[in-house]
Copies of this chain bind each other. A is one copy, B any other.
Amino acid sequence: MKPSHPDLPPFGREMTHLKRSVMRELIKIIARPGVVSLAGGLPANELLPVDEFRQCLDAVLRRDGPKALQYGPPHRPLQTWIADYMRSRGVACEPDQVFITNGAQQGLNLISRLFLDAGDAAVTEAITFTGVQQVTKGRGARVRTIPTDFRAGADMDALEAAFAAEPRPRLAVLIPDFHNPLGVSLSVERRERAAQLAATYGVPLIEDDPYSPLRFLGDPRPPIKAFDEAGFVFYLGSFSKMLAPAMRLGWIIAPRAVLPRLTVLRESFDLESSALIQRGVAEFALSGLLDEHLRRFNAANRERRDALLAALKEHLGDMAHWTQPEGGLFVWVTLPEGVDAWEMLPKAVERNIAFVPGAAFAVEGGHANTMRLNFSSVRPDQIPHAIAVLAEVIEEAMG
């Protein structure tokens, strides 16, 4: 026998760039009984369709029996429902183009692996969802960031400049509706231009869209994918917010040419999505329960958003500004320069209020004076007091 190695070998190159999640650190800070959390990114417990979904699963297992517990191809009625839904939003697609995933995060990861290797150029918004950062910066890409304005979303001139620079980016990601964390939506004109730019510069563009079904104000907008005549846009949908997070179910509308490679890649990841969950979700959607749920859910979220905006106006009106989301889960608050939201957080948690410092979403750092506030998982009657306390913490931080 040769001498023992005391340790496992060092991790591989694959693990070089992936950073520990700031959100996970945050959960530790704010996990304290009695905290009213504006830090979440989830539907409220009391708004989840527990009984309805229970009945759907029951119906599926009674009707489909072992088929619902077996291996199998993607569930065609679910693909058909999704294709119909996408067509109702202006996206030309067929059921066989609906690639079922375990949530939009899996879609981000799979598509990033199709095109992007460490060292390649990628483009994201400068402030974006941590999961987007994990599949670009976290995979060793050289990320070019573009600004997002609060009126009309990601800046298309900046996107064109980032696409035109050498080397050609091998991936871009935009969040079109009710942006996480900003709460803003991309204008229709910019959606059209984003699709054109992807085709003009030949850049695969991921449209990460878990939030559009959560619109409670204004007119629905067509996805970027609706303008994608050339086949450069990868649309990601999700049932995590529109139905429930534990579905762990989403979909990709991908250009048909990549589907075979996507299938092989996904097989090597985790084979396929649960036949049971797929059938349960199809039952929920096809029976009309999903539409009913979304009406109730969005109405409740609007009430919560209104309560939050009113409280912000009352307590922070003279020292901050914020976005005015027409849907989704989040409001983005900008405090005066010099205030550090990370420093404020423990003080807020001491007084039983939690939020996410906006810097957690800043790809290139900065933005210390910003916060993401979630309104969907807090009861409306808790919001005024929460914001009053938060205003006190901010005032103290400002001296």
Interface on A for B, CB 8 Å cutoff? 1-9, 11-15, 18-21, 24, 42-43, 45-46, 48-51, 53-54, 57-58, 61-62, 65-72, 101-103, 105-106, 109, 113-117, 120, 131, 134-135, 138, 164, 168, 170, 196, 199-204, 230-232, 244-248, 255, 257-258, 260-261, 263-265, 267-277
Contacts and interface: CB of A to CB of B under 8 A. Distances in A.
B70 A245 contact: yes
A69 B42 contact: no
A257 B117 contact: no
A5 B202 contact: yes
Contacts of A2: 164, 200-201
Contact of A270 (B13, B170, B248): B248
B115 A9 contact: yes
Contacts of A244: 69-70
A114 B270 contact: no
Contacts of A46: 66
Contacts of A19: 264
Contacts of A101: 270
A20 B50 contact: no
A21 B273 CA distance: 17
A144 to B, nearest CB: 16
Contact of A274 (B53, B72, B134, B246): B246
Contacts of A11: 114-115, 261
B50 A61 contact: yes
Contacts of A168: 9
Nearest to A49: B69
A45 to B, nearest CB: 4
Nearest to A16: B117
A40 to B, nearest CB: 9
B20 A48 contact: no
A53 B69 contact: yes
A200 B1 contact: yes
29 contacts: A1-B200, A4-B200, A8-B231, A8-B258, A9-B115, A9-B204, A11-B114, A12-B120, A14-B114, A15-B261, A24-B267, A45-B65, A46-B66, A48-B65, A48-B69, A50-B66, A50-B68, A50-B69, A53-B69, A54-B62, A57-B61, A102-B102, A102-B270, A103-B270, A105-B271, A131-B271, A135-B268, A248-B272, A269-B269
A264 B66 contact: no
A50 B248 CA distance: 21
Contact of A265 (B15, B69, B275): B15
A45 B65 CA distance: 9
A159 to B, nearest CB: 13
